[in-house]
Structure 1
Amino acid sequence: MQHELSYDRYNTRHDRIYRVLQTFRSVEKGQKITAPAPEDYQVWGCAPVGPALAADFPQVKEMVQFMSPVSLLLEYGDKRLQQENLICIDSTAFKVFSWKLLQGNPQTALVAPNSIVLTQKIAEKFFGHTNAVGKTLRVNNGDHFTVTGVVADVPANSQIAFNGLISMSTARKWREDVFSAWGYVDFYTYFVLKDHADIAAMQAAVPAFLKRHNMEDPGYTIAFEKIDDAYLHSKASRQPGPVGSMSNIYLFCCIGIIILIIACVNFMNLSTARSLERAKEVGVRKVLGVQPSALRWQFLFESILISMIAATLAVALTNLSLPVVSALSGKDFAPKVFFSGQLAAWMVILTLATGVLAGAYPAWFLSRFQPIAVLKGVFKPSNSNISLRKALVIFQFTLSITLIAGTAIVYTELKFLNNHDLGFTKDQMLVLNFEGDDQVQQNLESIKKSLADQPGVVSVAASRAVPGEFLPNAGTDIQGPDGQMTNKIPLIYEIDFDFISCLKIPLAAGRNFSRAFITDSTQAIVINEAAAKLYGYRHPADAIGKKFSQWGRQGTIIGVVKNFNFRSLHTEVEPLTLRYGMPGSLNRIEVAIKAEHVAATITALEKTWKSVAPQRPFLYYFLDQSFNKQYEADQHFGYLFSLFSCLAILIACLGLFGLATFTAQQRVKEIGIRKVLGASVYNIVVLISKDFMRLVLIAIVIAIPLCILIMNQWLKDFAYRITISPGIFIITAIIALLIALLTISWQTIKAALANPVESIKNE
């Protein structure tokens, strides 16, 4: 929880850093536009808004913009690496964000064109531990960048992560025109608010600001969001990095509290169950004049002392288990960072609270014993005491069963995600990443043919991106059912002639791109069913032949593909247009390979690649693996949920085992007499077990609706989700009963097999 809640708080001025959220909505002429919902905003926006804000609002102290990450081939000497996650950023970066520059001058490091600041990890790959400033890297077999700084690796709890920073003046050399285009989207804008400045006043002035700068687009507006809210509370799309889940934090917090409560319940249960053993001690102390309040403090102190010993052991165990928890959660928990002063303070508070919670009732209960009754031997536990113990058993097993069922639902949903028909083929699909290399693009068709000629290759295609990767939006006019051109902003895929057939994306109407039609590369698009619906077509076939205009290209719709999940199943299929991507716009080659001899096929492809594109390293990945990375956070959630569930169940079973042991000891003479009178081992086992099993059954009845309520909330995060079936709860009930039965069976069978002579010889 501490790690998740601390995102971006490493920035010294995090409480005054804001980012600009932007909306790009289609508005018809004369249409009244409503205020955008939080979900309508995106963090990814246009460039001109940043300088305009800095110029118009005196409240802005510093402003910084950066672009979407790029991947570049970096070369120094004999070291040649395709480096991902490099971002072009303004020279004010170190004034806004608290990134520590280890080498170089923060004032000038990102000023000159072709300047690059590397992270410490990447700098050491190229230059070892020597000073990197002033050294030159060859980029994409052409340009040369000068290393102007080395920055400490970005903290793990940062939404903005990178391997290197490139000066924004370099990006201006590449494409100067986009910096003045209000409709071009590829920038993230952040700013620092001056001391005592009012962000609400800035937001109120936005309408006037937009009238001055962007009057032609009524669908465009902006809002401001605090960086502290970016990771956990933002509903905006197109985030610059990962986002967390506040509901998951609440859930794990609840699970942690549940585990503590179950442990406290065990302590209360066993303390009150063992009351007979301490009754004479209490009686003697009271006769000797000890006040009830002193007894209460004694028993409470015993509980707190046990809690303190447990906390000491817990810290040691936590230190040992951090690598395991890191692997399960996908987070990097370093002990020196994890054990902070803040956490130590919380540990002390938690330890004392746990001790008090666990010991308060037993202390009150034990201190109320009447000394005369106890010393005469006529003391017996009251019915209320027994009822309380039963209620506590029901309570802890209700929580444990809820967690068992919750674990089953989590894994059923994750299995559903993995097995869901996405509408395209991702298995045995090798993706070659050439990152828009000029020579590859110029010879793309011949390279594809060379790859397709290799044994084990089924088909080859090319595209700008593959499912699961980033896609841009494109303002697109399409002729509607009324014959009028309607402007919307669907997503866009740039592909070649073979992409749809290679990935086996089925058509709902019309045809695929074809080399037989010369105009398909310049005057045709294919849309998906969601896009057809967006433009008003109930039946996909009705959209065929309709006119379109998109990014300087006009023509007709030639086909409609069925909806396929090109993004995570967390979201519904969005409207999508697919158009032929001219050389210069493609980055990936998809190779469908046979399941047999995969290693040999990859070896043959690598050999071919080195001959047709020697200037590029052979970089590949499998589409199914990259696509499934979208569910890594869900997988880690499932691992942790299972771990904590098992822990809670184990603690509940320990309490049940102790209670069963005590019960068997209390009834040892009764069991002996029953055996003498002819009761079988089976009769004795059933006699002792049935009361506990009845309590577990009551817990099952209570746990089922509780689990449905909680897990339905969790499932809301998925557009495609399972329906919670009764079968999950039937299996859960059986598992819970078996766990309870196995827990108490050792003691019940042991008691049933005991020699009755030993238990009743003193009567």
Structure 2
Amino acid sequence: MLKNYLRTFIQDTKKNLTISVVSMIGITLALAAFIAILQVLIFESSFDKFHSNKDNVYRVLSTSYADGELENYWPCVPKLMGEYCKDYSGVQDFARTLENWPGVNVAFDQKYFRTTERSYYVDASFLDVMNFEILHGNKSSLKNINTCFITESFSQKIFGQVDNVVGKVLSWNEGTEVTIGGVLKDIPQNSSFQFEILLSMETFPYLRNMDWENNTVFGLFLKLDKSVNLNSFSHWLTQLHYDNHNFEAGRKVKYELQPIDDMHLRSGKLTYDYLDRGNLELMHFLLLVSISIVVISLINYVNISSTKLFNRTKEVGIRKLFGAVKASFVKQFFLESVIFNVICALAAFVLLSIPQISNLFDAGVGANGDLSLTFFTVLLSVIFISSLSASAVPSVAILSYSLSALLKGEMVRKQKVVNANTLFISIQLFLCVGFIALTFTIFKQFDFMVNNDLGVKIESVLLVTDKVELEDRRSKNFRSELLNYPEVQSVTSSYVPGKQVLTTKVVNKEGSQKSIMMNATQIDYDYLETFSIKLIAGRNLSEEYPSDRNGGALINRSALDFFDFKTPEEALNKRIFFDGVKTYTIVGVIDDFHQVSLKDKIEPSTYVYQKWPSGYFSIKIQPGSFNQQTISRIKAVYDRIYPEFSFDYQLLEEQYLAQYRQDKVFNKIISALSFIAIVLCCLGLWTMTEFNLRKKAKEIAVRKVLGATIWNIFEVHLKYYGILLLVSAILSLPLVYFISDNWLDNYAYRISIGNWFFILPVLILLPFILLSIIRSIYVAAIRSPIESIRADA
């Protein structure tokens, strides 16, 4: 029986080769989109679920307010909070973390290596709270000062092996000797923590100087009994902070607990996070998009299956005449649909294996993606629903007709079939118009963020790895030698735009109790010139003023309102206090600029002289001189002054734009999905046009006999599809406008939605509609009227 069904499927496919190929293209594209998004969703939702303690380990989040305004919402707490938490009943253990940026120098046997991932100072209990697999060593060694754990990949990078490395000594960041206490298995890709080195918390050089009054920079993870009431414990943490911290008037703080398996996807509202975050809203949106793509393809498949099945009415009629029952037809059509969908699913996997397509996604897709039981359960469910719909809908329709109707093909002219086709086309146009409008919104917002004036010049700036402290002789020599070249305009070792400023201070003006937690950016004397930051009042920090090294400060325009300065000039020579202790005098006011992406609002900030490096030399190249020859000359100087290091560099512009990596991926994915939606819609229109014109062949023939021209026939059908497009746009665009406007509210700086939103989707889709239907209408219009009437008789 199965062999007979397979033979019938092959024969039917050959008989309707064109429409079968069109159908296969559509279903393959839709399944490829669905498979890729499903695998991304499963991967994103799997983050941190490999920890065996995930159900009772929580990260502490803190929210600070000044005069009712949000200052910070972040996973940072004071140093002593973890130790005090041990007094609360139900707290089994705690672990603190303190991050280092990527790009730390590690030396062994006079060879230097540079970390590519973040590194962390951690308590020894970190490896009890979290389940990172230990290959060699004892986690208790992290209790000792100057001890570290490294990952197996980093061990291979340094030693060429994983065994027998415990006890070896590394030079950490130019001076600190740290002993390897153990080796960890490489960190899973679905871990929020990505690192190559863990250092013992005791190794952090400033640990002893930290207390409740400042330096809220530690991550804190708590392992709790299931009996602990989370709300009560959060209130206890808040009160603990108030009991141990002297708060200025108008400032408040609140604590809450976050399950560790929520860290990746449910941290989007944090103002800062030391872990890379996913985007739950994006995942929900992609899920909605993938479902919409499947709906469009399912409609196409049902329509195409109906068209093919209506071509087999005589076959169905003859089989019924010889005694075939309805169940046998349903079974046959269902198995044919299953075979077809499975072939398309396999083709989708092949399509996703093409690098140009798989590279659109951050996670592995296709054969390289998630192939878990969950994935196959969902995929097979979709195939089953698609196959059932594609076989059941036309089967029920055809088998409901009489034997004589089947043999004569009379059901093709039934009005309910026409109404169903109109509904299907309208749904496709509705979704397609929405996709196009949303794609343009995302594209314009991304373009706005990338090309908007940042208030700072990031072009023609070369970032070269800074190895030593600013006051070091070699560092000074490197800077001075570079400035001898006419191509080099300036050099700074300050914080670079595109990097989150981690140093914050509670700042208030002399004579005022009003305070705010502000970014305190460390800069040097060449910072403003290198990044072309505009000075709007006063002067820059300068070596000519010795007091600037420890007591001079710049503020930005956004800080003026907070300090109640009516003009930039009024702020000059006024004193401000950091954490109520350190005094600075405002010597200049700079214009606002975007330190980080346009997703975040420009915050009030201060700028003070830097005594330690940022990790980079930022080298401003003269316009027109940014070429390989200039880079080679800089490398020659670097190799001469730092012969033990490799010359590493990158472009500041590329590093800054890396902040928009997720937005760029999102833009690519939505663009690709919108293209697929348009293709599927066009395939659906072509199929429906073919089907509808078959039913209207006699009507077209009569019109031609009565003197209608080809253009008259075009005009009638174009009017029909034009009205469908217009109605679909009227229904779709207000809904998509609401979705787009809410999405744009996630950005502090956003585009406004103009008239283009309502016009462009229709103008873009109209040519595709014309191309989809013009061929079918033309073939029907030039057909001999006598032939059409005979065929329809």
Scaled by the length of structure 2, the TM-score of the pair is 0.86
Q: Is the 8 A contact 2:470 2:612 kept in 1?
A: no
Query: What do the CA deviations read for 1:617-652 (whole angstroms, capped 9, x no partner)?
Result: 433221111111110000000111111111222122
**Which has the larger displacement, 329-338 or 190-199?**
329-338
In the aligned structure 2, how far is the partner of 1:339 from the partner of 1:492? 47
In the aligned structure 2, how far is the partner of 1:130 from the partner of 1:193? 34
Structure 1 unaligned segments of length 5 or more: list them: 28-33
Q: Report the alpha carbon displacement of residue 737 of structure 1 after superposing the two structures with TM.
A: 0.8
Q: Secondary structure at the match of 1:475?
A: strand
In the aligned structure 1, how far is the partner of 2:561 from the partner of 2:331? 67
The Cα RMSD (Å) is 3.0
Q: 2:711 — aligned with what? A: 682
Q: Report the alpha carbon displacement of residue 156 of structure 1 after superposing the two structures with TM.
A: 1.8
Matches within 5 A, 1:339-358: 339-358=371-390
> 2:289 is aligned with what amino acid?
I
Q: 1:636 — aligned with what? A: 665
Q: Is the 8 A contact 1:156 1:332 kept in 2?
A: no
Q: Report the alpha carbon displacement of residue 256 of structure 1 after superposing the two structures with TM.
A: 0.9
**Which has the larger displacement, 397-406 or 470-479?**
470-479
Q: 1:546 — aligned with what? A: 574
Matches within 5 A, 1:8-157: 8-26=48-66, 40-53=72-85, 55-70=86-101, 71-77=103-109, 79-84=111-116, 85-105=118-138, 107-131=139-163, 132-157=165-190
Q: Report the alpha carbon displacement of residue 9 of structure 1 after superposing the two structures with TM.
A: 0.9
Matches within 5 A, 1:290-689: 294=326, 298-299=329-330, 302-303=333-334, 305-307=336-338, 309-311=340-342, 313-315=344-346, 317-318=348-349, 321-322=352-353, 323-324=355-356, 326-333=358-365, 335=367, 338-371=370-403, 373-374=405-406, 379=411, 381-434=413-466, 437-438=468-469, 441-442=472-473, 444-479=475-510, 483-550=511-578, 553-581=582-610, 583-584=611-612, 586-594=614-622, 595-614=624-643, 616-672=645-701, 674-675=703-704, 679-689=708-718
> 1:607 is aligned with what amino acid?
A
Q: 2:275 — aligned with what? A: 241
**1:265 paired residue among 262, 279, 299:** 299
Q: Secondary structure at the match of 2:657?
A: helix
Task: Say if 1:336 and 1:190 are closer, same or farther in 2 by CA, change over 3 A.
Answer: same
Q: Is the 8 A contact 2:496 2:618 kept in 1?
A: no
In the aligned structure 1, how far is the partner of 2:189 from the partner of 2:766? 43
Q: Report the alpha carbon displacement of residue 575 of structure 1 after superposing the two structures with TM.
A: 0.9
Q: Is the 8 A contact 1:141 1:615 kept in 2?
A: no
Q: Secondary structure at the match of 1:56?
A: coil
Query: What do the CA deviations read for 1:172-204 (whole angstroms, capped 9, x no partner)?
Result: xx2232454442122111122234443344234
In the aligned structure 2, how far is the partner of 1:258 from the partner of 1:426? 40
Q: Secondary structure at the match of 1:563?
A: coil
Q: Report the alpha carbon displacement of residue 499 of structure 1 after superposing the two structures with TM.
A: 0.9
In the aligned structure 1, how far is the partner of 2:780 from the partner of 2:365? 47
Task: Say if 1:124 and 1:738 are closer, same or farther in 2 by CA, change over 3 A.
Answer: same
In the aligned structure 2, how far is the partner of 1:508 from the partner of 1:331? 46
Q: Is the 8 A contact 1:468 1:568 kept in 2?
A: no
> 1:528 is aligned with what amino acid?
N
Q: Report the alpha carbon displacement of residue 495 of structure 1 after superposing the two structures with TM.
A: 0.9
Q: Report the alpha carbon displacement of residue 758 of structure 1 after superposing the two structures with TM.
A: 4.8
Q: 2:4 — aligned with what? A: none
> 1:418 is aligned with what amino acid?
V
In the aligned structure 1, how far is the partner of 2:431 from the partner of 2:509? 55
**Which has the larger displacement, 535-544 or 737-746?**
535-544
Q: Secondary structure at the match of 2:456?
A: coil
Task: Say if 1:335 and 1:60 are closer, same or farther in 2 by CA, change over 3 A.
Answer: farther
Residue 55 of structure 2 corresponds to residue 7 of structure 1: no
Task: Say if 1:255 and 1:192 are closer, same or farther in 2 by CA, change over 3 A.
Answer: same
Q: Secondary structure at the match of 1:422?
A: coil
Residue 223 of structure 2 corresponds to residue 183 of structure 1: no
Query: What do the CA deviations read for 1:271-290 (whole angstroms, capped 9, x no partner)?
Result: 45567545555656666777
Residue 199 of structure 2 corresponds to residue 166 of structure 1: yes
In the aligned structure 1, how far is the partner of 2:407 from the partner of 2:612? 95
In the aligned structure 1, how far is the partner of 2:535 from the partner of 2:605? 14
**Which has the larger displacement, 465-474 or 251-260?**
465-474
Q: 2:32 — aligned with what? A: none
Q: Is the 8 A contact 1:508 1:540 kept in 2?
A: yes
In the aligned structure 1, how far is the partner of 2:685 from the partner of 2:285? 25
Q: Report the alpha carbon displacement of residue 674 of structure 1 after superposing the two structures with TM.
A: 4.8
Q: Secondary structure at the match of 1:606?
A: helix
Q: Is the 8 A contact 2:113 2:158 kept in 1?
A: no
Q: Report the alpha carbon displacement of residue 139 of structure 1 after superposing the two structures with TM.
A: 2.9
Number of equivalences: 743
Q: Is the 8 A contact 2:501 2:520 kept in 1?
A: no
Q: 1:31 — aligned with what? A: none
Query: What do the CA deviations read for 1:97-145 (whole angstroms, capped 9, x no partner)?
Result: 121122223x334233222222222111112235232333233343332
**Which has the larger displacement, 488-497 or 121-130?**
121-130
Task: Say if 1:493 and 1:754 are closer, same or farther in 2 by CA, change over 3 A.
Answer: same
**Which has the larger displacement, 487-496 or 685-694?**
685-694
> 2:50 is aligned with what amino acid?
Y
Structure 2 unaligned segments of length 5 or more: list them: 1-40
Q: Secondary structure at the match of 1:338?
A: coil
Q: Report the alpha carbon displacement of residue 257 of structure 1 after superposing the two structures with TM.
A: 0.8
Task: Say if 1:247 and 1:359 are closer, same or farther in 2 by CA, change over 3 A.
Answer: farther
> 1:9 is aligned with what amino acid?
K
Q: Is the 8 A contact 2:305 2:390 kept in 1?
A: no
In the aligned structure 1, how far is the partner of 2:302 from the partner of 2:162? 62
> 2:448 is aligned with what amino acid?
F
Q: 2:743 — aligned with what? A: 714
Q: Report the alpha carbon displacement of residue 253 of structure 1 after superposing the two structures with TM.
A: 0.8
Q: Is the 8 A contact 1:300 1:355 kept in 2?
A: no
Q: Report the alpha carbon displacement of residue 21 of structure 1 after superposing the two structures with TM.
A: 1.6
Q: Secondary structure at the match of 1:160?
A: coil
Q: Is the 8 A contact 1:63 1:189 kept in 2?
A: yes
In the aligned structure 2, how far is the partner of 1:183 from the partner of 1:553? 12
Q: Secondary structure at the match of 1:385?
A: helix
Q: Report the alpha carbon displacement of residue 2 of structure 1 after superposing the two structures with TM.
A: 0.8
**1:730 paired residue among 734, 755, 759:** 759
Q: Secondary structure at the match of 1:438?
A: coil
In the aligned structure 2, how far is the partner of 1:153 from the partner of 1:699? 52
Q: Report the alpha carbon displacement of residue 615 of structure 1 after superposing the two structures with TM.
A: 5.0
In the aligned structure 2, how far is the partner of 1:418 from the partner of 1:537? 32
In the aligned structure 1, how far is the partner of 2:332 from the partner of 2:142? 61
Q: Is the 8 A contact 1:283 1:369 kept in 2?
A: no
In the aligned structure 1, how far is the partner of 2:302 from the partner of 2:347? 26
In the aligned structure 2, how far is the partner of 1:298 from the partner of 1:182? 78
Task: Say if 1:263 and 1:304 are closer, same or farther in 2 by CA, change over 3 A.
Answer: farther
Q: Report the alpha carbon displacement of residue 48 of structure 1 after superposing the two structures with TM.
A: 0.6
Query: What do the CA deviations read for 1:633-674 (whole angstroms, capped 9, x no partner)?
Result: 000001111111112221222121112222333344554555
Identity value in percent: 25
In the aligned structure 2, how far is the partner of 1:491 from the partner of 1:300? 69
> 2:401 is aligned with what amino acid?
F
In the aligned structure 2, how far is the partner of 1:196 from the partner of 1:185? 29
Q: Secondary structure at the match of 2:59?
A: strand
Task: Say if 1:109 and 1:641 are closer, same or farther in 2 by CA, change over 3 A.
Answer: farther
In the aligned structure 1, how far is the partner of 2:371 from the partner of 2:507? 53
